[in-house]
Amino acid sequence: MNQFFSLPVNSYRAISFGNSYLFRQYDFIQSFITRNFPADFQRLLAMPYENGDEIKWYTSLTGDFLKLEDFTGSGKGEMLEHYNALLYKAKRKCIELENGDDRDGRIWANTLKEVFNYDNNIVFTNGSRIVLVWGWTFFKQDLYRLPADRYQHLLYEDDVSEPEKEQKITETPIEKEEDFVLPVINPPKKEEPIAPVLEKQRADGVEKEKPEEKKKNILKPDTEKVAEAEDKKKFLAYDFFNPAKSKWLYGISLFLLLLLLAYLLYQAKTIFADDMTGDQRKARLVEILPKQPGMRTIPIDTSKFIDDDRSHSKIISDLVNVALIKNSSKFSNLMIDIKQIFPGHDYQIVYYDTQIARLQLHFPVEERDNIKGKLRSKLPAYEILIWDEAVFRTSRSFNDPQFGIGEENWYHKIVNSEKAWDVTIGDTSIKIAILDDGFDLAHIDLSSRITARYNVVIHNSQITSGAENMHGTHVAGIALAQANNQTGIAGIAPGCSFMPVQIGGGQEYFAMSDVIDGILYAVKTGADVINLSLGRQFSDMASAIPPGEIENLIKTEGLDEEAFWVQLFTMVRQKNVFVVVAAGNQDLPIGLDPMQRSTDVLKVAAIGENQKKAQFSNYCNGTAASECFISAPGVNIYSCKPGNTYQFLDGTSMAAPIVTGAVGLIKSVNHKLTNHQIMQILNSTAIPSSDPGLPALIQIDKAVEMARSQVL
């Protein structure tokens, strides 16, 4: 992403909309625009990101962007005309939404009127495209607005009604919303001078309101005064109630009354979900939640990464996950109650998933040491799990020239995949899901047998790849590359179907939420096997910790996250979906990553051509005999690279898809086997290792043969 602008939060007035500031609703606004607006709107809005006392603005477009008023290129006039045409189209869309059958149409119309408003935009251009900074009041209308005849030629035929086609389009300004007071984020101490405001009011035709004349005091007749005095004497017969003698009592009474009112108002404001009606709960959820579940509201900001002192892993410092263990029907109530307890704008539910009853809370970073304790103490009615948002990364490989000196198919020989092909090369009914950073689906070895592609990050089927995200292409080739096409390589299971699930967008890191969403998508879409060549990233200090202390960390740290993964993978197993996970490349005990602690996933360590543990591979540390571990080749592995090319890479990322392909072959010959039975078959047919901490080496031919003959 290209950062092209920043502004201090106190330099302009931020527009408030609903229960939040408008700019904080970027993700679901952009999602709505993507679904409902033409292509020229798709990258129009810049993406805001709060960073302390400033807002940074990003765009996926390349080039140097300048304010339109500062741009000196020849295309300045065309860019201004294009901007005016876009705002005209936005206005027409708002009218359509207001008059449509969708009950949310008016809400969206009002939202878009604020987004696409001359006064609420700063226009930037690189000479060929424009990008809008939005969500604040900038008062740019006089600078940007053009008469309609200046941009009429840019409108599509469908943008102009029949009467407008017969006559020239006359200027149709976007209706001005009723005035309201806009809250200010960190307002400047110096007040705005009154004179310019009054001048603007006069320019807008607003008359200056005359102050009301003070009412004259009308003296009452003396007889009335006497009567009032007598009544007052009777009322004050007791000195105890005489305010002249008991002012302190009245002061205390007034204070207590105000305290009572404040308490009642607080109680009214913090009505919890169980005390709300169904309609009240629905309305409250609309106020506090992102527009769509599973939509993250901010990108992965590497400046927020910290090394957690307890787990020694990288986490995002201002996010925490909360999951409901039981009674998921109460998940809506949990979300409402969290926002009732933490009502401030600094506390936002930025992500939620109703399927597994999990949410993500953004909080002030200075609260990091206290937030988990506060959530537990303030929500005693719920049984919840709470853990940090971990940073995941593909088990990235080394691409030094020395890795290109071995035979290209050595790993096929050592696991006997060619003998297994005498039984099966895989069946297209078996879907293998690869969750990774991206895929070159046009690659000659991957373009066939693709099914149910999906991009978790942008929530559509657009899959990308390139130099910055080539890892997934290499992993997919190991498991699934087409055989017998006189080109390149052959995957372990070349006959199975390939389900590409992209969980990254060119960044080096993944958010854990994207990994979880990818798993859920694969399960819901009918995957039979899931490959996860990725894992949590640990600090360099973790390598210096003695193995015994790491074993203690595995037993004592990350227990809430461990419980969540166990719960998730139990659900996956119940759907008879097999999960293969790369062990990791930091020469650490497997299990330091809480995702690896479930016995329902098969962890894969890497060996070299000498059948010894690869120097980088994580290891089992005394648990090698367990059936949920296995080894596979992971050094000098030749596979696909974007652009119809190939390369050698190494890592447990390369070992995992060898096992994933083997599971695909096993399911092809016997799809009724349970996950537990498949693990037993793989381990009972594997070659035991003499290397401490290294699981047995997979033998695919024997495993496939046993699976075919297995009596259920």
CATH number of the domain residue 439 falls in: 3.40.50.200
Q: What is the pLDDT of residue 684?
A: 94
Query: Where is the domain boundary, 335, 364, 389?
Result: 389
What angle do helix axes 700-709 and 652-669 make, rounded to 10 degrees?
30
Residues 45 and 109 in one domain: yes
Q: Amino acid identity of 323?
A: A
Round to whole Å and give the CA distance between 495 and 491. 9
Highest mean pLDDT among 11-15, 260-264, 496-500: 496-500
CB 701 within 8 A of CB 420: yes
| 189 inside domain | no
| Residue 258 and residue 291 in one domain | no
Average the pLDDT over 402-430 and give the result.
Answer: 82
Residues 137 and 105 grouped into a single domain:
yes
Residue 517 lies in a domain: yes
Alpha-carbon gap, residue 684 to 329, rounded angstroms: 42
Give dist(CA 265, CA 9) in Å, integer. Answer: 31
Angle at the Cα of 253 (from 249 to 256), degrees rounded to 5?
A: 140
Contacts of 325 (CB under 8 A, 6+ apart): 383, 384, 385, 563, 567
**98-112, 245-259, 364-378, 449-463: which range is least confident on average?**
245-259
Active site residue 60: no
> Which amino acid, residue 612?
K
Each residue's pLDDT tens digit, 261-295: 665 555 445 567 777 788 888 888 888 888 766 66
Interior angle at CA 163, CA 104 and CA 118, nearest 5: 50
The one catalytic residue among 436, 437, 593, 650: 436
Task: Please check whether residues 348 and 489 belong to one and the same domain.
Answer: no
Q: What is the pLDDT of residue 386?
A: 86
Task: Tell me what pLDDT residue 575 has.
Answer: 93
Q: For tokens 């009972």, name the residue.
A: 684
Yes or no: say if 332 and 358 are a contact pair by the CB < 8 Å rule.
no
Reduce the secondary structure of 654-691 to three states and give it as a string: HHHHHHHHHHHHHHHHCCCCCHHHHHHHHHHCCECCCC
Kindly report which listed range (37-46, 233-242, 428-437, 516-525) carries the lowest average pLDDT score. Answer: 233-242
User: What residues make up the domain containing 423?
Assistant: 401-709
In the prediction, which pLDDT does 26 show?
83
The per-residue pLDDT for range 331-365, each reduced to its tens digit, is 889 999 998 888 888 888 888 888 778 888 989 88
Task: Report helix, strand and coil shares of the chain as percent, to nearest 5.
Answer: 40, 20, 40
HSE-CB of 87 using CA atoms within 13 angstroms: 33
Domain boundary among 341, 367, 389: 389
Whether 700 is covered by a domain: the verdict is yes
| Best CA proximity match to 655, nearest among 709, 711, 606 | 606
Q: If 0-12 CB within 10 Å is exposed, 13-18 middle and 19+ buried, where does residue 355 land?
A: middle
Residue 488 lies in a domain: yes
Report the DSSP pairing between strands 130-134 and 121-125: antiparallel
| Predicted structure pTM score | 0.59
Q: Which of 388, 471, 593, 598 is catalytic?
A: 471
Residues 557 and 419 in one domain: yes
Q: Which among 153-167, 507-521, 599-613 has the top mean pLDDT?
A: 599-613
Partner residues linked to 294 by β-bridges = none
Q: Is 586 exposed, middle or buried (0-12, 13-18, 19+ CB in 10 A)?
A: buried
Domain count of the chain?
Answer: 4
DSSP for 103-157 reads TTHHHHHHHHHHHS-GGGEEEEE-SS-EEEEESEE---HHHH---GGGTGGGS-G
Domain identity same for 530 and 658: yes
CATH code of the domain containing 350:
3.30.70
Residue 320 neighbours by CB under 8 Å, 6+ apart:
360, 361, 363, 371, 372, 375, 386, 387, 388, 389
pLDDT bin (cut points 50, 70, 90) of residue 599 is: very high
> What are the helix and strand counts (H, E) for the chain?
20, 26
Looking at the structure, tell me whether residues 131 and 250 fall in a common domain.
Answer: no
Write the CB contacts of 567 (distance below 8 Å, at least 6 apart in sequence).
Answer: 323, 325, 356
Task: Give burial (CB, 10 Å; 0-12/13-18/19+) of 618.
Answer: buried
Distances (CA, A) of 226 to 54, 216, 218: 67, 22, 16
| Candidates 395, 397, 497, 653; catalytic one | 653
Q: Is residue 318 part of a domain?
A: yes
> 255 with 285, same domain?
no
Share of the chain above pLDDT 90, in %: 36
Q: What are phi and psi of 393, to 5 degrees?
A: -155, 145
Decide if 231 is catalytic.
no
User: At a CB cut-off of 8 Å and minimum separation 6, what does 580 contact?
Assistant: 529, 530, 531, 532, 601, 602, 604, 656, 657, 659, 660, 663
Q: What is the DSSP letter of 593?
A: S
* 686/631 Cα distance (integer angstroms): 9
User: Same domain, yes or no, for 581 and 518?
Assistant: yes
Shortest CA distance to 511 belongs to which of 291, 292, 297, 310?
A: 297
- Top pLDDT among 279 and 138 is at 138
* Domain annotation covers residue 612: yes
From 18-27, 568-577, 701-710, the region with the lowest mean pLDDT: 18-27
Q: Residue 658 has which token pair? A: 């060898």
What average pLDDT does the segment 102-127 reach?
89
Q: Is the pLDDT score of 624 beyond 70?
A: no
The torsion angles phi and psi of 326, rounded to 5 degrees, stand at -125, 165
Q: Are 188 and 165 in contact (CB under 8 A)?
A: no
Predicted pLDDT at 114: 92
Which residue reads 């007034």 in tokens?
A: 254
Distance in angstroms (rounded) separating the CA atoms of residues 546 and 548: 5
Burial label, 131 (beta-carbon count in 10 A; 0-12, 13-18, 19+): buried
Report how far residue 448's alpha carbon sits from residue 316's, in angstroms, rounded to the nearest whole number: 38
Compute φ and ψ for 692, nearest 5 degrees: -55, 135
Percentage of residues of the chain with pLDDT beyond 70? 78
Both 240 and 298 in one domain: the answer is no
Do 81 and 154 touch, CB atoms closer than 8 A? Answer: yes
Q: What is the pLDDT of residue 206?
A: 42
Please report which confidence band the pLDDT of residue 309 belongs to, taking 50, 70 and 90 as the band edges: low
Distance of alpha carbon 118 from alpha carbon 144, whole angstroms: 7
Amino acid 144 reads Y
Same domain as 635, residue 662: yes
Over residues 658-676, mean pLDDT: 96
Residue 596 tokens read as: 């690896």
Domain match, 482 and 376 both: no
550 occurs within a structural domain: yes
Provide the pLDDT confidence category of residue 419 given band limits of 50, 70 and 90. very high
Residue 215 falls inside a structural domain = no
Q: ∠ CA 111-115-117 to the nearest 5 degrees?
A: 115
Residues 345, 546: Cα–Cα separation, whole Å: 43
Residue type, 684: S
Q: What is the pLDDT of residues 195-254, one digit of tens each?
A: 333 343 334 444 444 444 434 343 444 444 445 555 444 444 444 444 454 555 666 777
- Which of 242, 269, 296 is where one domain is finished? 269
The pLDDT score that the predictor gives to residue 403 is: 30
User: What are the two backbone dihedrals, phi and then psi, of residue 638, each rounded to the nearest 5 degrees?
Assistant: -95, 125
In the predicted model, what is the mean pLDDT of the chain? 80
The two three-digit tokens of residue 449, written as one number: 């047998």
Q: For residue 436, indicate whether it is catalytic.
A: yes
pLDDT at residue number 546: 79
* Residue from 329, 572, 293 nearest 433 by CA: 572
